[in-house]
Amino acid sequence: MAQAHAKPKGRVLIIAGSDSGGGAGIQADIKTVTALGGYAMTAITAVTVQNTLGVTGVHAVPVDIVKAQIEVVMGDLGADTWKLGMLGSADHVRTVLDAWHAFGAGVPIVLDPVMIAKGGASLLAQDAIEVIREQLVPVAAIVTPNAPEAEALTGVEVRDLDGQMNAAEILVEQLGAYSALVKGGHIEGEIVRDVLLTREGYRVFETPRIDTRATHGTGCTLASAIAAYNAQGTDIPNSVEKGRAYLMESIRNAPGFGQGHQPLGHAWPCKLA
């Protein structure tokens, strides 16, 4: 008799935009999930024209094609966790949410509310912020905004640790996310603090700031690492802890490519194999 096998773990459906420079977006997400032993699938929401110097063009994928990508992946391969990145417009946000209800309800969502590229280009329409706040945040297992994104979602200043904690409290206790990680990379100081709030309380992660130009795609990479660990059965707090450790090493192992905000060294765990 054939031995029964447990349901496979580690499948991550990434719904986000493409980065032609390979440092952020879908490309960084796939690299991260793969490096951490997961299986990455995608539904691409936009094709961007960018490199380390910035974004010079954005072409949105029609919402019916976004929905179709999600439907065929979920109908065949399934997913253990969804990771949401650049969604672009309010219609794209609504489409992804409708698709989750139709094809993925109950699958945890790691929501990285991508609003502005590292070089300053806007990646999210203003009217989409309200839809994310009111409809997507409440179904997220975790939302991972940086300081400017947290300010846009909550309406409070996020300039220090108190601001991070206030924003996290609003995201969880008022807007309904299961947990929130308000990141501190944009806040000045020699120590980078990320604030995690779950229904069990606060946890503050502290890391010495690394003096580097390799910061392109850090938000995408961290959210994808959290999703990869969560998809393999790790709870949210430990997924955050392990994801941050992976990110720090990816920064330290950056290849040094490009003239601007440089990409990370996502494949460093493969060197240890």
Q: Domains in the chain, start-ordered, CATH in brackets?
A: 11-266 (3.40.1190.20)
| Residue 225 · residue 32 · CB < 8 Å | yes
Position 43, amino acid: A
Span 19-44, average pLDDT:
97
pLDDT of residue 235: 97
42: annotated active-site residue: no
34: annotated active-site residue: no
Catalytic residue among 52, 95, 215, 221: 215
Catalytic residue among 183, 184, 221, 265: 183
Question: How many CB atoms are closer than 10 A to CB 15?
Answer: 27
Q: CA-based angle 30:31:32, to the nearest 5?
A: 90
Over 80: is that where the pLDDT of 5 sits?
no
Rounded CA gap, 245 and 218, in Å?
12
Write the pLDDT tens digit of every residue in 230-273. Answer: 999 999 999 999 999 999 999 999 999 999 999 999 999 987 76
pLDDT of residue 273: 60
106: annotated active-site residue: no
Over 70: is that where the pLDDT of 165 sits?
yes
75: annotated active-site residue: no
217: annotated active-site residue: yes
Over 90: is that where the pLDDT of 147 sits?
yes
Catalytic residue among 25, 219, 258, 265: 219
Over 50: is that where the pLDDT of 80 sits?
yes
Catalytic residue among 220, 221, 243, 265: 220
Catalytic residue among 144, 218, 221, 243: 218
Residue 2: which pLDDT band, with cuts at 50, 70 and 90?
A: very low
219: annotated active-site residue: yes
